[in-house]
A and B are shown apart, each in its own frame.
Chain A
Amino acid sequence: MVDVLSVVTDPLDPVSEGWAALVQEDRVHRSLYTEDRVFAEEMVKVFGQTWVYLAHESQLPEPNSFVTGKLGLRPIIITRDRKGTLHAVFNRCAHRAATVCREETGVAKSFQCPYHGWTFRNTGELVGAPWPGGYGDTFNKDELGLGKVTRVASYRGFIFGTLNESAPSLEDFLGQAKPWLDYWIDRAPKGEVIVRAGAHRMVYRGNWKLAYDNGGDGYHPSFSHRSLLEMASRLGDSKDMSYFGKTPDDGAMKIYSLGNGHSVIDQRPNFDGPGSIWANQRPQPGREHFEELIRARYPEDSDRLLDVSAGAQINLSIFPNLLIIGNQIQVIEPLSVDKTQLVWNATSIGGVPDEVNTMRMRTQEDFPAFGEPDDQANFEEVQRGLAVTEVEWILMNRGLNVDGWQTLDANGVVVSAVTDEIHMRSYFEEWLRLMEWTNR
């Protein structure tokens, strides 16, 4: 039993207790979701000292393209220089801190600060300040560029950045997540994924980790998504997602703990062969006409084209902020300790008939409308529940020490039953490693 009085008068304190006291093998402390100072440190360390997803290359289609974004709470600009090389710079004038770029996207060789006119190249260097004579002889342009995200790298179009000079290479960081990302990308015939189809920007009043907790959660669908499953049965048997409710722990569907905080749920074992993902997709507007057209025009290739018009059937979580769900590239944007924006970037793919991409749009409207809102309602209710100071712990012990659940595959990946909370245990291990980083 928790000693209530001692808890109230002497709650676990991150500073005096150390982070390790708050992340135990089977549980994490509520303060990780509720305390401003924990959030402030996360924004520096978790969103700074490891690779963080920034943008997709298709959002920067030509030399000198830019797109604004965030690294934790830091406003940044992701750019291509005139040769096409990727950069990320802080959107913060070296002079008096105003953002220098206020557009979401565009093409620009340089950015002029609207406040006092300092001008910077899209690679960060200061071009000049108005009337430099006012700074005397000590004005050194070389020291007054926009701050840079020191390492920026792309894996097959997915751009990541980190401030940590000693972080492993991006490919090593992705590690065992790479083959899953490859599967997802290679659903496009030439691996061409395009993020230019709009995004659902869904805000909830809860901590950012609630979204990450949920990304690899195979336990919740048959409860949190009851409304969607009930709706899907309106027109008779619907297979999609209903398998989460049928003794999921005994089925072929697994969760893979991929290391570095990454995990994936593979739903594909519930489907049998080409055309099956399409056949079980909840019905989209225009589905019947589209299927006729594809089968008539591309008889040899129709199952593949139909399957890529529906979801990828994996949920790939890449710590800390990238969730690949269905055909969407979902990005977690922390706003404050108890407010988060999830950006569901819809994707198109190259090398397929236009009609396939239209159907992908209709597919990608389904879950943000009828699935995700119920999850986010539950995230908000978690945040409300966390106001109870006397009950301190969030459990993540499902599957821990259960005989026969976890096995090691040939790549050293831990595989377990889909409802195992191993995804949380493994990412909090990575979280702890990052939070214990010190520059002092």
Chain B
Amino acid sequence: MTIRDIDYSDTSRWSHHVDVDFYADLEHFAELFTADWAVADVNASRSAEGFLAAEARLIDEARFNDWIELFTDDCLYWVPITPGGGDPRREVSHAFDDRRRLTDRVFWLRTGLAFSQIPQSRTRRVISNVEVLDDPGTGLRLVRSNFIVHEFRAGVGKTYPGWYAHVLAPHGDGWRIRLKQANLLDSEHGHENLTLVF
């Protein structure tokens, strides 16, 4: 079978779509996320807060198989090292997970063989300062928020502050995550065992 004959539509298996445009979109989103936004109307705000809280609960309850279903086929789960993101074309990240690598990550967490997750991290996160920007051109909803993730594992408690950038795409009556970027306050500094999910 030549490469041309493959059906690339299953993005948990193939990553043909991560191309020049994929990276250009990230650059575009970064511009939007660093701008000042007007205060969103109460319905949009409430809806975004509810979405983030529901997502947070899936992670904190380690329901990773459910969590991954919140993501679009062309998603990115991104934990940059360079504060704010930098240029992923030229820099490494803590996590730069397309759908395939994200599926791998969840699979890896659930193997029961990852010694860095035995015992498993317990997490509980608080999300606040939620801001919403709807883009009428694309139908995408951008959500910006602050987080504090508390982790307890192997007798040690840790705290990770930072901010999230979510790009949500309409899906039926609700939303799916096109981009989730978790910006750690100390992203480029030393961390112990950064295998928890942000």
Q: Is A125 among interface residues, defined by CB-CB distance under 8 A? A: no
Cβ contact within 8 Å between A198 and B86: yes
Among B16-24, B27-35, B132-140, the stretch that binds chain A is B16-24
B interface vs A, CB < 8 Å? 3, 6, 8, 13-19, 22-23, 81-82, 86, 88-98, 100-101, 103-105, 107-108, 111, 113-116, 118, 188-195
B contact residues around A198 at 8 Å (CB): 81-82, 86, 91-93, 188
Binds B, one of A76-84, A174-182, A258-266, A361-369: A361-369
Q: What residues of A have a CB within 8 angstroms of the CB of B18 in the complex? A: 285-286, 289
Q: Is A240 an interface residue (CB 8 A)?
A: no
Tell me if A171 counts as interface (CB < 8 A to partner B): no
B193 CB contact (under 8 Å) in A196, A348, A376: A376
Instruction: Find A357's partner among B3, B90, B192 (CB 8 Å cutoff).
Output: B90
On whether the beta carbons of B98 and A286 are closer than 8 Å, the reply is: yes
**A-chain residues with CB within 8 Å of residue B100 when the two chains form the complex:** 283, 285
| A interface, size bucket | 35 or more
**B190 contacts A361, CB within 8 Å?**
no
Q: Tell me, rounded to whole Å, the shortest Cβ–Cβ distance linking B95 to chain A.
A: 6
Inter-chain CA distance A292–B3, complex, in Å, is 8
Q: Which residue of A lies closest to B6 (CB)?
A: A288
Rounded to whole Å, the gap between the CB of B87 and the closest CB of chain A is: 9
Does A287 have its Cβ within 8 Å of any Cβ on chain B? yes
Q: Are A200 and B81 in contact (CB under 8 A)?
A: yes
Determine whether A157 belongs to the interface, using a CB cutoff of 8 Å to chain B: no
A425 is an interface residue with CB less than 8 A from chain B? no
Q: Give the interface centre of A202, A224, A348 by most chain B CB atoms within 10 Å.
A: A202
Dominant SS at the B interface?
A: loop
Contact B190 A202 (CB under 8 A): yes
Whole-angstrom distance between the alpha carbons of A169 and B49 in the complex? 63
Q: How distant is the Cα of A361 from the Cα of B17 in the complex, in angstroms? A: 17
In the bound assembly, the distance between CA atoms of A368 and B194 in angstroms comes to: 10
B193 A346 Cβ-Cβ under 8 A: no
Shortest CB-to-CB span from B159 to chain A, Å, is 15
CB distance from A9 to the nearest CB of B (A): 30
A377 touches B92 (CB 8 A): no
Give the interface centre of B23, B86, B190 by most chain A CB atoms within 10 Å: B190
CA distance A199 to B13 in the complex (A): 28
Let me know if B90 and A348 touch, CB within 8 A: yes
Residues of A contacting B86 with CB < 8 Å?
Answer: 198
Q: A228: CB under 8 A from chain B?
A: yes
B-contacting 9-mer, from A130-138, A229-237, A247-255: A229-237
In the bound complex, what is the Cα–Cα distance between A358 and B20 (angstroms)? 11
Closest to B8 in A: A288
- Report the nearest A residue to B95, measured CB to CB: A369
Flag if B81 contacts A289 (CB, 8 Å). no
Chain A, 340-383, CB within 8 A of any chain B CB: 341, 346, 348, 354, 357-358, 361-362, 364-365, 368-370, 373-374, 376-378, 381
Contact: B190 with A201, CB < 8 Å?
Answer: yes
Residues of A within 8 A of B14 (CB): 288
Closest 3 CB pairs of A and B: A286-B18, A373-B116, A227-B114
Known: A200-B81, A346-B91. A374 touches B189 (CB 8 A): no
